[in-house]
Structure 1
Amino acid sequence: MVLLLAGCRTLGYYAHVSHGQLALMARREPIELLIADPVTEPALRAQLAELREARVFASERLGLPRNRSYTRYVALDAPYVTWNVFAAPEFSVEALTHCFPVAGCVAYRGYFDPDKAKREAERLRARGYQTWIGGAEAYSTLGWFADPVLSTMIGTNSDDTIGLLFHELAHQWLYVRDDTAFNESLATFVARKGLAEWRQTRAEPPPDRERDAHERAFTERALELRETLASIYRRPITHEAMRTEREAAIATFRAWHAEARRTRWPDDPRFDRWVSEPINNAKLVPLGLYDGWVPAFEALFRQVDGDWEAFRAGVEALARRPKAERDKVLEEVTEENSLTIPACA
């Protein structure tokens, strides 16, 4: 009976995401026509025109896939396209994973309907997991469909929009089954470095250094918090003692953020809501996945003197290795910044 129920729930989930994907694809409009249409709002026309240029840059300069993805547009009536449910045990920062035929095992379940995401989170909490729901402005079908530009991708900061475009195309270029940290960290690096080069080719100043410094500092501190909690959970102490030490560590993190906002970044409230709302193991999962290996990829890129073709060849070779070997190389290159990866394996 348990197996049967699990199967029914899985089939229901597949039906949900299939319906959401098909509904999304049915609403696509060619970006070229929207730019030429006088009815299109001027602000949207300008944003789409810039994205069209960035799409070409992504293929010609960064070597990302040249296909029909991000040549069409979908207007959504929600702030996110999907809502991702993350879960972790109360005394572990390791995520509960979910396995799928194409994507392999990943650390979350995505829903097109926020209410369904909430019900899944409630179900997992009833099983003793800590949960967190994160909204996503975009997602990749890994080249199986021609992914569109979504209205949720377009914000007031064009850097974020262009970076998100590069991030999603990076997934289409390279995706390793069952290694979310590798995939997301690589895409994050490609987005950041690609954005810097995009601005340079347009004779624009580099991305806001203070804004970038704030993001990096926040991420580093949050990852430190994650490691602190992991060390607490490894200690031979009672669960009650673990809870007490966990709350103390979270309070220390919040105090750092408050001081940093007051003294260094008084005009950048991007992370205020994240910090003010409850922090648990599940909420820290995406940080470890999306940023954990970014320094390693930065080091590897420097080692090939910023040559995108050599970088792609090296990373593709690394992706063909077993996960344990990949992790070892990434750990060593992060710590020593002296290893190089071969162009073939």
Structure 2
Amino acid sequence: QEGVKRWLNGRDDAAFSRWQLSRQREGQFIDLLLAVRDELDRLYRQPLDEPSMGQRKARLFEQLRERYQQLKQQWGGYAGFDGWFSHDLNNAYLASIATYEAWVPAFQQLLKQAGGDLAGFYAASRALGELPSPQREQRLQALLQAADP
């Protein structure tokens, strides 16, 4: 994201504006996915039998599709995320998005610690990826805590 922003900014104003609009739409779509993910978490904590759970879960995914259609209308028909609905959605799929988004501020902090230098950031990211899982998790948590709110 940072590399694209830097490359486009000042070079091609029209492309930079399109990219910003794309990022805005992506943010709105991710917010929608995360909201449904939270609703699913609440649902799974309820003491329901399997058929009731399945019906409510199906309804939440139907509501996700409806909310997406509303977003598309706000976007003037932009259909860039239609592909997400070409296969069955499930909680694990939404959890992967939530996990990714949760770490974004940690990597923004890593870039900040590299003084904004992308080469330094990439080196630090590689080093982070080479850490054993417990140390990597600990480092990411520290970055997350240090990140701007």
Q: Distance in 2 between matches of 1:223 and 1:211?
A: 18
Matched residue, 1:302: 112
More RCO (CA 8 Å, sep 6+): 2
Deviation at 1:287, TM superposition (A): 3.1
Matched residue, 1:81: none
Q: Distance in 2 between matches of 1:276 and 1:229?
A: 20
Matched residue, 2:76: 266
Matched residue, 1:322: 132
Name which of 244, 247, 263 aligns with 2:58: 247
- Relative to its length, the structure with more strand (as a share) is 1
Letter in structure 1 aligned against 2:134? A
- Taking structure 2 as the reference length, the TM-score comes to 0.70
Q: Distance in 1 between matches of 2:21 and 2:93?
A: 25
Q: Distance in 1 between matches of 2:143 and 2:42?
A: 23
Q: Distance in 2 between matches of 1:228 and 1:328?
A: 28
**Runs of 5+ unmatched residues, structure 1:** 1-191, 339-345
Change (3 A) 1:329 1:230: farther
1:293–1:330 contact (8 Å) kept in structure 2? yes
Deviation at 1:274, TM superposition (A): 2.7
- Relative to its length, the structure with more helix (as a share) is 2
Letter in structure 1 aligned against 2:44? Y
Deviation at 1:301, TM superposition (A): 1.3
Q: Does 1:214 find its partner at 2:25?
A: yes
Matched residue, 2:12: 204
Matched residue, 2:122: 312
- Taking structure 1 as the reference length, the TM-score comes to 0.35
Q: Please list the CA deviations of residues 270-299 of structure 1 after superposition, one character each: whole Å capped at 9, or x if unmatched.
A: 113434764234543653565553332123
Letter in structure 1 aligned against 2:30? T
Q: Distance in 2 between matches of 1:260 and 1:238?
A: 33
**Runs of 5+ unmatched residues, structure 2:** none
Change (3 A) 1:252 1:267: closer
User: Highest Rg: 1 or 2?
Assistant: 1
Across the two proteins, how many residue pairs are aligned to each other?
145
Change (3 A) 1:256 1:299: farther
Give 1:1-345 correspondences, 5 Å limit.
192-200=1-9, 203-205=11-13, 206=16, 208-263=19-74, 265-275=75-85, 278-281=88-91, 283-284=93-94, 287-288=97-98, 291-331=101-141, 333-334=143-144, 337=147
2:108–2:147 contact (8 Å) kept in structure 1? no
Deviation at 1:213, TM superposition (A): 0.7
Deviation at 1:269, TM superposition (A): 0.9
User: Percent of aligned positions with the same letter in both sequences?
Assistant: 26
Change (3 A) 1:290 1:307: same
Q: Distance in 1 between matches of 2:72 and 2:92?
A: 24
Deviation at 1:303, TM superposition (A): 3.6
Q: Distance in 2 between matches of 1:334 and 1:254?
A: 32
- Helix, strand or coil: the match of 1:269? coil
